[in-house]
Amino acid sequence: MKFGFIGFGEVSYTLSKLLLALDFEILSSIEGRSQKTIDLINSLDLTLLDSFKDVAKESDVLISANSPDIALDIAKNYGNLTNGFFLDFNNISPKTVFEIEDILSDDKFIDSAIIGRVNSDELNIYLSGSKAQFLLDKIKKEIGSKGIDINKMDFKINVKLISDKIGDVSKLKMLRSSYTKGVSALLVESFELAEKLDLEEELWEILSLTENRDFERSSKSRIDSSKKASKRRYEELVEVLYFLDNVDNVDESKIMARATKDKFEYLKNRENKE
Amino acid sequence: MKFGFIGFGEVSYTLSKLLLALDFEILSSIEGRSQKTIDLINSLDLTLLDSFKDVAKESDVLISANSPDIALDIAKNYGNLTNGFFLDFNNISPKTVFEIEDILSDDKFIDSAIIGRVNSDELNIYLSGSKAQFLLDKIKKEIGSKGIDINKMDFKINVKLISDKIGDVSKLKMLRSSYTKGVSALLVESFELAEKLDLEEELWEILSLTENRDFERSSKSRIDSSKKASKRRYEELVEVLYFLDNVDNVDESKIMARATKDKFEYLKNRENKE
């Protein structure tokens, strides 16, 4: 069973490393890649083909883990060429997911996501689609036939099948995004106001009493990335809201999500001015 | 050193219990109290006086732990009568705190709060005011002189002095309220949308991956109390916004707080209709 990767970033690198440890053959290509990506690819024991078209043709499982804006084109250009399954791990909206389903049909396409951190100690993979269970069983069987006990590896891959419906993984990502980015927006706002009152340290302390133990560290990282990536967060929230408007057309059902979008728009514009 | 309580609810009960364990004399009165409160008072070994006026006159530390709407009257009627310190534990805005300071002066008045759960295992008390440190030292000295080792008690009282400025404890409570109620509003909204998509269970699961370990239990309790107490939450947010408008007059600095208020207003009105 051969896994092919179109593009090669952080997600592809981590997935490849884990799949290599499980003794799978990994296909990719350095066609048109930057020197940085070529170095990354060369650090692993991959099978390199001349072109991504060849990768698509020879893969049993073709993985697209790139950026949202090229996800649809990759599905069109390479998903159509493969005889294997096509897994999209990009951060795309349900709308784009359904467009890909239209192109490839759910016989081939599996809606996929990594939730939480992408690292090689523990990885949480979510799948939906009519063939997701079939693919999972096939992979497990092949791992078993090699005599590999996956529980004894020094990493953990948690794979969760959400449903047999394409789009459900992507919907979950939207809901998650709406919540976590809302918390980030709240954090930015509360601590900027606390700063004005010279009560920042004290606010960290009293919130840590009732929030989680790791609250200050994890929240500071949320604030930091919210400010740094405010433009991208804003764009993601535009997508989230577009999606939520279809879920519920009552304005009051989206007060917090809309405010989160407005907050990131403000942070984005403020950042531009500085 | 005698501690007097005006009114007798959950906070007074818990504080009295801990102070009794530290061998302090506790004064209160059953004047005009309900049978329920009288039973609560009688369950502890308190010194009962004929009236709350007598309690005020004889206390070295007079504690007001009632409801926000009567806090100012209590400060006027009883705070003025005592020769001891007056501690206000009510959930009042900085505006009301400053009104009390005007009446009593910060020689007598100490801005006080319990942060987090009120229970007799562990209690987090926050104080601010020019005499707060003096009072703390006096209490510690008296405990020490009785030969009591507070570290060996089966409860923990964490007392934190925020600053020597009246109002700082109350400001912190406002900021905390703005953040935690914002999170509650986000939770209500995200899970109502997830319910519409039939992805509630899955959303709990993926958020628990990156939020705290206890996320589902604590968040469900937040959702529950947000819906039950939406009217009160809304009123609190009105106070919070009134306060924040004075901290920063730029609208965008309060996008999330304003949305939180709007969300609770919506929940309150929806509750009324049902």
Q: Which pLDDT tens digit goes with each residue over B128-181? A: 999 999 999 999 999 999 999 988 888 999 999 999 999 999 989 888 888 888
DSSP single-letter state for residue B34: -
The answer to whether A202 contacts chain B (CB < 8 Å) is: yes
Instruction: Say yes or no to pLDDT of A223 above 70.
Output: yes
For A22-30, what is the mean pLDDT? 95
Task: Return the CATH fold of A2-162.
Answer: Rossmann fold (3.40.50)
- Measured CA to CA, the distance from residue B28 to residue B25 in angstroms comes to 10
On whether the CB atoms of residues B166 and B111 are closer than 8 A, the answer is yes
Note the pLDDT of residue A43: 93
Select from A197, A199, A266 the Cβ nearest to the Cβ of B252. A266
Classify B171 as helix, strand or coil. Answer: helix
Nearest Cβ partner for A212 among B196, B212, B259: B212
Residue B130: C-alpha distances to residues B59, B81, B97, B107, B172 (Å): 20, 20, 14, 7, 17
Could you give the 3-state DSSP secondary structure of residue A124?
strand
Closest residue on chain B to A192 (Cα): B253
Domain B2-163 shares a fold with domain B172-273 = no
Instruction: Report the half-sphere exposure of B261 (CA within 13 A, side-chain side).
Output: 14
| Alpha carbon of B35: minimum distance to chain A alpha carbons (Å) | 34
Q: Which amino acid is at A130?
A: S
- Which of B140, B110, B141 is CA-nearest to residue B127? B110
What residue spans define the domains of chain A? 2-162, 172-273
Residue pair A264/A230 in contact by the 8 Å Cβ criterion = yes
CATH 1.10.1040.10 is the classification of domain A172-273: yes
Q: Is the pLDDT of residue A210 over 70?
A: yes
Q: Which amino acid is at A169?
A: V
Flag if B259 and A255 touch (Cβ within 8 Å). yes
Which amino acid would we find at residue B26?
I
User: What is this model's ipTM?
Assistant: 0.82
End-to-end CA distance of chain A: 52
B contact test, residue of A163, A189, A201 with most B CBs within 10 A: A189
- Please report where in the chains the tokens 């309790």 appear, as a residue: B221
Option in B162, B255, B266 nearest A252 (CB): B266
Per residue in A138-193, pLDDT (tens digit) is 999 999 999 999 888 889 999 999 999 999 999 898 888 888 888 888 888 888 88
Superfamily of domain B2-163: NAD(P)-binding Rossmann-like Domain (3.40.50.720)
